Chain A
């Protein structure tokens, strides 16, 4: 059974710092991996989708990488801003199955 973990569980950084969020999964036979952000009391907002054949995806200040062989993905946030404060979730999709989510990393960016 696919298990997804995220480290750290919570992170607090001053504004302007670059930061890395980690996602690990146990079964490397994934179809794709998606990163989301979730604001308190809200639904999930899609950030980046990485297909299994890709190594990374970029959107603005965000860069996500994927290393299937080691079962890891990282989300890099450059020049963090207070508006980036949210919970960040990764989800992996096994072939023929559906997304399995990690527990999330709660990020606070302090002004």
Chain B
């Protein structure tokens, strides 16, 4: 596609529920990143994929967070037993080869946990 797309754009859920957030990177980009952004702050790194594998998942806050990229293209960020503190904008980015390349961001998914 022309750019990185993310769905849904907004997600409202109740505390304790499970959510999935989807990212479609730019076609041909092998590197994919997930970030989380709270109001008034810069994005915080969560996980980086190189192809199908998670090259760096050091930013995932705890084991309730998990992400997959089974075919090396679309990625899904999964959050179990959501908490109110998980409310944030979740941003996805992709780059052609890796962390040395320019990153292109999607519009984000705004997650609200009630």
Interface residues of A (CB under 8 A from B): 4, 31-32, 34, 36, 42-46, 49, 51, 89, 91, 93, 96-104
> B interface, by DSSP: helix, strand, loop or mixed?
loop
Pick the contact of B102 from A46, A97, A98 — CB < 8 Å? A46
Pick the contact of A98 from B4, B41, B99, B108 — CB < 8 Å? B99
Give every chain A residue within 8 A of B45 (Cβ-Cβ).
Answer: 98-100
Number of B residues, CB within 8 Å of A = 24
Q: Which partner residue on chain A sits nearest B108 by CB separation?
A: A43
Determine if A102 and B91 form an interchain contact, defined as CB atoms under 8 angstroms apart: no
Give every chain B residue within 8 A of A45 (Cβ-Cβ).
Answer: 105
Closest 3 CB pairs of A and B: A101-B42, A44-B105, A43-B107
Measured between alpha carbons, how far is A95 from B43 in the docked complex, in Å?
19
